[in-house]
Structure 1
Amino acid sequence: MVRIRPWSLCPLRHEDRPAHAWAANVGAGLATVGADNDPGGILTYSLAGAQYGFDLLWLCVLSVPSMVALQWIATRVGAVTGRGLTENMREHYARWLFLLAVARFLFANTLNIAADVLAMGEAAQLIFNGPVGWFALVFGGLSLAMQWCVPYARYARVGKWLCVTLFCYAGTLLVSDVPWRAALWDAFVPHITWSEHFFAMVLAVLGTTVSPYLLFSQAEQEVEAHPRGSAAVQPGRAPLAADSVQLQTARRETLIRTMLSNVFGALILGAAAVTLHVQHASLAVSRDAAQSIAPVAHGYATQILGIALLGTAMLALPPLAGSAAHAAASTFGWTRGAERDRRIALTLVGLMTGGALIAILLHACRVDAVRACYWSALANGMTVTPVLCLLVLLSRHREAVGALKTHVVVQLLSWLAVMATGAG
């Protein structure tokens, strides 16, 4: 018996383990940190810290409960129904509402892909010197080739070590003169500046913190873990004991993953606050962001930042492109199977190609990676509200999750995130 790789047209022996290029199929750790804090996250957090110091630190801290709740809802919906988020939304909501949410999600994901590819080009320039446009094409093509040919978990085991460079942000806080009392106060007490630019930055930080593409990837990962037709995925039935243990494991890993992601986001923002903000330095191009780690990296700061941007982009692009490809598959109602996998793979190629072309166009228009990543985070923040709203409503839908409706506390925390992004 042969199976078809969902990202390729080559046959796969039954005993081989298939790869799922669009699912962030990794546990808590460096790979998770890198996938959550892609170049858009690194540069947006750096920009927020450079412009507002510690004033936005509370977004990274107070958003943790809501983020855990949203990730857990995505996990449970995927595990219980045996279908991804977009498939569930398509089945249980009006078509126009579903299409609106998916269209906004696809737009934000494509812009995010373009920003990350452009950031890879600038990152390579920081390391090797050379033309940004060519580097963006080369590394964008390399990412696509790896998604097509290499199991995500396999190359994530290598790529995650590039994310060790993110610990330099923690090092900056350790060696710098940090006003810890003020920082802790700002971490738990919201500080509001009533200006359009401030609220735009709040929305951008929320957009890169919520990372809606990871919610879709999380649900798809659970679908793969609980094939359709098992007792665990029949709506209205309680899961078997083994499945209950698996759901508890998923809950624990969701908590660890979210906390790690937000901790590193806070470290990046804090490092920029004690360097760029204190020095009143501007963050106009990605090279300027290297000053956030200069206290520990010294003369190698630009190269280390380049490695961090490259590593996180390579880890984030598969779930970015894959979640968008799955959303497209659900929009057209493709039946699960080998043919659907082929179409998803081709859609993924189209999205990656389109993102790379947009990145080249942005570079030709002299748009740097900092602005592109900020615009991408802002687009995520502006488009995520309908997706989150449908996700929370889905967790209450008895036809979708049966007797395993989400706990009221989890729902309240999730609605808090919906209101926060909507108000922004």
Structure 2
Amino acid sequence: MSTAGPPTVTARRVRVATLVAVLGPGLLAGLSDDDPAGITTYSVLGASYGYQLLWVLLLSTVALVVFHSLGARMGVVTGQGLIGLIRQRYGVRASALALVVLVLANVGTTCAEFAGIAAGFGLFHVPPAVSVPISAVVVSTLVLRGRFHRVEHLLMGLATVFVAYVAAGFLAHPDWGQAATGLVLPTMPLRHGAVLIVTATVGTTLAPWGLSFIQSYAVDKKLTTDDLGYERVDVITGAVLTGVIGFFVVVASAATLHAQGVTIESASDAAGALEPLAGPLASTLFALGLVGAALLAAAILPLSTAYSICEFAGAEAALDDDFEHASLFYVSYLATAAVGAGVVLAPGLPLIRILVLSQVLNAVLLLPLLGFMFGIARDRDLMGQYAATRSMSAVYAVTLGLVALCIGALLALGLP
């Protein structure tokens, strides 16, 4: 009897330690979805439609759990990233198409991240000519010069800034009853603006780059099939936190901006407008969240791009490799960051329109990538005993259908 206790405690400690060691891919891929483009989309959603479209965020979060779980499982089981698997399963042409789709989506979203950096630091009176290039250099140096685990800890530490959005949501004193109704009662205004913001919400939550990143990062982290149970916890935690943060951004905007009839075009507009409605603390927290989200995503988006390019080329792609052994990885990362920062610094560009439309582009480009993942998930030659069951295949097919429905409705009403 006396010996039963210690092994139980020891086993529990081992499980907790293993979980902590595995955490990373799901949390980072999920929380990075709440980037400036995402916060802008959620802010416009709440300011324009109040609590009415919260159900879209809930469904998008469920889809995020489903496909991030699939991406992580594919990476762990096969030891390959998404582009590498597409090349093996469908051939060079199909993988080249997937790579072009992914790079287009990633570069557009990277521009949106640096636009968010410019907007966020602008709220603290720092000009873009200072904030954007310095941020590009800092995040690139920290990611490319650090060891894998140090970089991971740094990024996860940066992700704690999202607590600011939860605090801002409470300070806005939302109507929790209306928020609950909006989450579970689907209603949809059949107007172009509503369909546009719904499509952008799907594109920003279930982003193409996130699907690629979580798979490649799980490979880089050297997870094994023994870790799959813990990785599932990681994925669900990251996706749920993503949805929770998006929820608080929407309710903060709905309770203040929508209630007062205030129209906004960006997350920085929302931060500025919150001050007279919810107080300076809510406004400051919202602005800090925007800056932190921008820096986190600006570090991860080029990483997703670099992984994918190297997978297609069959080149080394690991954070622990030096430049001599992974030159394409380093060059791809730096080029993506440089293009994103350079576009934002170009005079006269409509940055806010870039932010929202980049998320619509994400939704459109999401379809072929989800289709490739659907086929790979059912391939027993690649996935073995971890291939998708009939029930999970049905879930994947329904998700694909809903994304296609959003895009079809947008095309029927006319592109923006």
For the aligned pair, the TM-score class normalised by the smaller chain equals: 0.7 to 0.9
Q: 2:391 aligns with which of 395, 409, 413?
A: 409
- State the distance in 2 between where 1:395 and 1:28 align: 18
SS at match of 2:80: coil
Answer yes or no: is the 8 Å Cα contact 2:105–2:358 preserved in 1: yes
TM-superposed deviation, 1:390: 0.6
Structure 2: distance between partners of 1:359 and 1:92: 37
Q: Report the equivalent of 1:342.
A: 327
* Pairwise CA distance, 1:291: 5.2
Structure 1, residues 283-306: CA drift from partner, whole Å, max 9, x if none? 135432115754896224444333
2:220 is equivalent to residue 198 of structure 1? no
1:157-172 equivalences in 2 (<5 Å): 157-172=156-171
Which is further off, 333-342 or 115-124? 333-342
Structure-1-length-normalised TM-score: 0.82
Please state whether the residue corresponding to 1:402 is helix, strand or coil: helix
1:208-242 deviation per Cα after TM superposition (whole angstroms, max 9, x unaligned):
11022222222123213447xxxx6xxxxxxxxxx
**SS of structure 1 residue aligned to 2:279:** helix
The one-letter code of the counterpart of 2:364 is M
**Partner in structure 2 of residue 355 of structure 1:** 340
Judging changes above 3 Å, is the alpha-carbon distance between structure 1 residues 336 and 61 closer, same or farther for their aligned structure 2 residues? closer
Equivalent residue number for residue 311 of structure 2: 330
Q: Which residue of 1 aligns with 2:251?
A: 270
Determine what percentage of the aligned residue pairs are the same residue. Answer: 22
CA distance in 2, matches of 1:314, 1:199: 29
| Corresponding residue of 1:12 | none
The alpha-carbon distance between structure 1 residues 168 and 297, as it changes in their structure 2 partners (threshold 3 A), is: farther
Question: Equivalents in 2 of 1:274, 1:381: separation in Å?
Answer: 28
Q: Structure 1 residues 25, 355: CA separation in 2 closer, same or farther (over 3 Å shift)? A: farther
Cα distance in 2, alignment partners of residues 408 and 293 from structure 1: 48
Aligned positions of 1:145-184 closer than 5 A: 145-150=141-146, 151-172=150-171, 175-176=173-174, 178=175, 180-184=176-180
**Cross-structure match for 2:286:** 305
Task: Give the 5 Å matches for 1:4-403.
Answer: 26=24, 34-127=31-124, 129-150=125-146, 151-172=150-171, 175-176=173-174, 178=175, 180-226=176-222, 243-244=225-226, 246-290=227-271, 293-294=274-275, 298-334=279-315, 341-361=326-346, 364-368=347-351, 370-403=352-385
Q: Which runs of 5+ in 1 are unaligned?
A: 1-23, 233-242
Higher helix share goes to which structure? Answer: 2
RMSD: 2.5
Q: Quick one: structure 1 residues 157 and 262, their matched pair in 2 at CA, closer, same or farther if it must change by over 3 Å? A: closer
Q: 1:17 maps to what in 2?
A: none
- Partners of 1:103 and 1:182 lie apart in 2 by 42
Q: Unaligned regions of 5+ residues in structure 2, if any?
A: 1-21, 407-416
Moved more, 305-314 or 149-158: 149-158
In terms of mean alpha carbon deviation, does 65-74 or 159-168 score higher? 159-168
Decide whether the 8 Å contact of 2:274 with 2:280 is kept in 1: no
Map Cα deviations across residues 315-340 of structure 1 (whole Å, 9 max, x no partner). 22232111111111122233668566
**Alpha carbons of structure 1 residues 336 and 359: separation in structure 2 relative to 1, 3 Å:** closer
CA deviation map 1:72-114 (0-9, x unaligned): 1111111111111110001111433322222121111111111
Checking the alignment, whether the CA contact within 8 Å between 1:73 and 1:392 is kept in structure 2 is no
Q: Distance in 1 between matches of 2:91 and 2:273?
A: 47
State the alpha-carbon separation in 2 of the partners of residues 103 and 271 from structure 1.
37
Counterpart of 2:271 in structure 1: which amino acid?
A
Q: Is the 8 A contact 1:54 1:183 kept in 2?
A: yes
Partner residue in 2 for 1:16: none
Is this contact kept in 2: 1:39–1:309, CA < 8 A?
Answer: yes
Name the CA shift for 1:288/1:403 in 2 (closer, same or farther; >3 Å). Answer: same
* Letter matched to residue 51 of structure 2: F
Cα distance between partner residues in 1 of 2:279 and 2:26:
30
Aligned to 1:236: none
CA distance in 2 between counterparts of 1:65 and 1:105 reads 22
Which whole-Å CA distance do the structure 1 matches of 2:116 and 2:138 have between them? 14
- TM-score relative to the length of structure 2: 0.83
- For 1:252 and 1:285, the matched residues in 2 are separated by 33
Q: Any conservation in 1 of the 2:203–2:359 contact (CA below 8 Å)?
A: yes
The one-letter amino acid paired with 2:45 is A
Deviations 1:6-43 (A, max 9, x none): xxxxxxxxxxxxxxxxxx972776x6764231111111
Q: Is the 8 A contact 1:172 1:293 kept in 2?
A: no
Letter in 2 for 1:263: V
Counterparts of 2:195 and 2:277, CA distance in 1: 32
Cα deviation for residue 45 of structure 1 reads 0.3
